[in-house]
Structure 1
Amino acid sequence: MRTLTCLVLLLLAGSGAFAQKEKASGVNSLQYSEFIPVEPIEFYDNVEVADNEGNVDLKYIKSMDKRELLEYLTNETVLVSVAEVDPTGKMSFIPGRVSDKGMQYIVTMDYLKFATLEVKKEGDVAGEAAAGVGFRVILNISSRAKDINLSDIFSIGMAATDKKVYGSVRVEAIGLHDPEITSVIPLPSEISGASIQSVMQAITIIKYKIYDEKTRLNPQIVGVRGTKEGVTLQELREAVMKYHKLGKKNVATNKSAPRKK
């Protein structure tokens, strides 16, 4: 468990390497090198699954067993997004990872085991979505100082101890069903050295539980990124929701989907 803890700490501490290319909001064009977080959306679809002999077949995502799901979710990473919140409450994702004095930020740190999906707008590929499982740490930060590293959870904790920032932190498990996970998730709390330590303990257990045979996996769409010039975050969100609704509608006619009796 100690080795796993160290790995999680290194991932979250070093996750600033996943940089966004430009400032964007729901109005501005969106072209990012990394995914922008969205509220988890249920994933319905047929996906390609290979058996032990290398044969590939389409299978409904919710009828896949644990081995098949883990093999399908081939990507594993930590993604960090920093959003600046203006006095009117408008949120814009920014490329910078250090604070300015007197500003408010929402920092989202996702550990994901995921697969990448195409997102289409009017028939053309406009972006990609990440569908998977994992955990999300959300920090709502008000800064009293500049040059605080917002991509490093430890720097934020130290800044809170030094009264340079204040705010709240919470942890969310994504697409994981296990009573033990529910029991270890801390309640939302003020950012402090102690609360950051509590968060780290919880996510270490959550990461371990992904591979526990008793934990059920239910992949969620948790992030989007634009690949087509001029596409906006709002357009990608709308395309993902359309995809979600279509997938849910098709469950009734899906040959491999479980039928209600």
Structure 2
Amino acid sequence: MQSGYTYIPLDPLPISEQSPDGGCDKKNMRQAGVLEALPDNAARVSVAEINQSGEFSFVAGALAEKGGVYRVTIDYISSATAQVPLWIRKTMKVVDEKGHSYREQVDLRADVDDRYVVGSQMYDVVRDCADNSDCAGGNGYRRVDIPIYIGIGLRVISQVTAFKGKVNIAGLGAIGAGVEADALAGTLVVQTLGVNGKAVAAAIPIHSELNRTTVQASIVAVSSIKSMLYNSDVSVQPRVVGMYLPMPADSKLVNAIVSAFSDSEHKLGGFERPCIAEGGTHSGPVLVPSTNLMFFPGAVNDGGSMGAPDAP
């Protein structure tokens, strides 16, 4: 099942924070708060269709077909964007005229012909090519820069089965309407992304069944927790919450990339809150050389593009 060229939500991955070189010891300078360093607010909806083998593909449309199983992920996030370089090699199985099989390298972006065995694709994904002898020698690896979203927020996940065709599953309201019309059934989960605190934990609804009541409760919970983000008793810690795939992809490639991101020997790291002037502005990228991540925090003013200047 093919997808790609789309936003892919990820289970939250930790990212280390670094202080600006030399600290913020200049006169009238301070380090930006976490939320000030996350300039972008978005509500992102991704829809993955799941087949009987458990493989998934992210689909562009938001209409469920009768009998289809879908995982709908709705992210409400404050984020910054970074690029992570990966080296990827794709191989597929070929069977010759004598029945002998072997694996052959395939271009990541090219359409494959009928010489290749359907479903035989495998991916090798490397974070540090120089540290991998196979990759450093070439051997079919191609560099791909993967945009990742680093931030905090909330996520609602609903896995649904459609009993009717052309059912809108583009958001919580649409899913609730589908349930009310007996066109959908499934589960519903609300989780935080890098947000914690007693009030936050208390606001998360404890349920898994999908019905009109739980959909309404999830909407209330999301609104309630969003309003708490600047409270002093709420802690926020940026996470890698999603990525954008700039190429055709399938579930095997997505899983291989996530595995590379989770590599304990090459952890993602380097989120930096820049120094900003009291009452001034900050704009432009913040480069963290040790991790090859380029961040674009945007413009931040005294009030902060995300809110109060002393936000945590």
TM-score (norm 2): 0.61
3-state DSSP class of the match of 1:72? Answer: coil
Q: Distance in 2 between matches of 1:227 and 1:219?
A: 23
Larger proportion of strand: 2
Determine the C-alpha separation between the residues in 2 that align with 1:54 and 1:81.
Answer: 45
Q: In structure 1, which of residues 61, 66, 73 is the aligned counterpart of residue 38 of structure 2? A: 73
Shift of 1:146: 1.1
Indicate whether 1:203 and 2:175 are aligned: no
The answer for unaligned runs of 5 or more in structure 2 is 88-128, 130-142, 270-289, 291-312
Aligned to 1:43: 15
Q: Using the TM superposition, give the Cα deviation of residue 56 of structure 1 relative to its aligned residue in structure 2, in angstroms.
A: 8.9
Residue pair 2:12, 2:239 contacting (<8 A) in 1 also = yes
Deviations 1:140-166 (A, max 9, x none): 101001111111211211111121111
Whether 1:170 aligns to 2:142 is no
Unpaired stretches in structure 1, ≥5 consecutive residues: 1-21, 25-29, 58-63, 249-253, 255-261
* Aligned-pair CA distance for 1:96: 1.5
SS at the partner of 1:127? strand
Output the CA distance in 2 between the equivalents of 1:244 and 1:132. Answer: 23
Match of 1:160 among 179, 192, 195: 179
Identity among equivalent pairs (%): 24
Q: Matches of residues 53-132 of structure 1 in structure 2 within 5 Å? A: 67-122=32-87, 124-132=143-151
Letter aligned with residue 177 of structure 1: N
2:206 counterpart residue number: 187
**More displaced 10-residue stretch of structure 1: 133-142 or 229-238:** 229-238
CA contact (8 A) 1:74 1:115 kept: yes
Structure with the bigger RCO (C-alpha within 8 Å, sep 6+) is 2
C-alpha contact 1:126 1:228 (8 A) present in aligned 2? no
Counterpart Cα distance in 2 of 1:213 and 1:230: 42
The 1:245/1:194 distance shift into structure 2, 3 A limit, reads: same
- What letter corresponds to residue 37 of structure 1 in structure 2? P
2:238 is matched with: 219
1:143 aligns with 2:162: yes
SS of corresponding position for 2:150: strand
Gap change, CA 1:156 and 1:56, over 3 Å in 2: same
Partners of 1:38 and 1:224 within 8 A in 2:
yes
Question: Which residue of structure 1 aligns with residue 254 of structure 2?
Answer: 233
SS at match of 1:198: helix
- Number of aligned residue pairs: give it: 214
Q: Tell whether the 8 Å contact from 2:168 to 2:178 is kept in structure 1 after alignment.
A: no
Note the C-alpha offset of 1:223. 0.4
Following superposition, the deviation at residue 241 of structure 1 comes to 2.1
Offset at residue 128 of structure 1 (A): 0.9
Give the distance between the partners of 2:166 and 2:202, measured in 1 at CA.
Answer: 36
Q: CA deviation at 1:239?
A: 3.6
Q: Report the CA distance shift for 1:175/1:54 in structure 2 as closer, same or farther (over 3 A).
A: farther
Contact kept? 1:126, 1:226, Cα under 8 Å: no
Look up the match of 2:135: none
In structure 2, C-alpha distance between the alignment counterparts of 1:85 and 1:54, rounded to whole Å? 56
Relative to structure 1, is the Cα distance of residues 166 and 51 closer, same or farther in structure 2, using a 3 angstrom cutoff?
Answer: same
Contact 1:118 1:125 in 2 (8 A): no
* Mapped partners of 1:110, 1:129: distance in 2: 14
Judge conservation of contact 1:116–1:128 (CA < 8 Å) in 2. Answer: yes
Q: Secondary structure at the match of 1:224?
A: strand
Alpha-carbon distance, 1:187 to partner: 1.4
> Partner of 2:64: helix, strand, or coil?
coil
Q: RMSD of aligned C-alpha atoms?
A: 3.1
Residues 38 and 105 from structure 1, CA distance in 2 versus in 1: closer, same or farther, beyond 3 angstroms? same
Query: Larger helix proportion, structure 1 or 2?
Result: 1
Aligned-partner Cα distance in 1 for 2:29–2:267: 24
Instruction: State the shift of 1:229 in Å.
Output: 7.1
CA distance in 1 between counterparts of 2:56 and 2:28 reads 46
Change (3 A) 1:157 1:52: farther
Supply the AA of the counterpart residue of 2:34: L
Q: Distance in 1 between matches of 2:151 and 2:223?
A: 18
Alignment-mate amino acid for residue 131 of structure 1: I
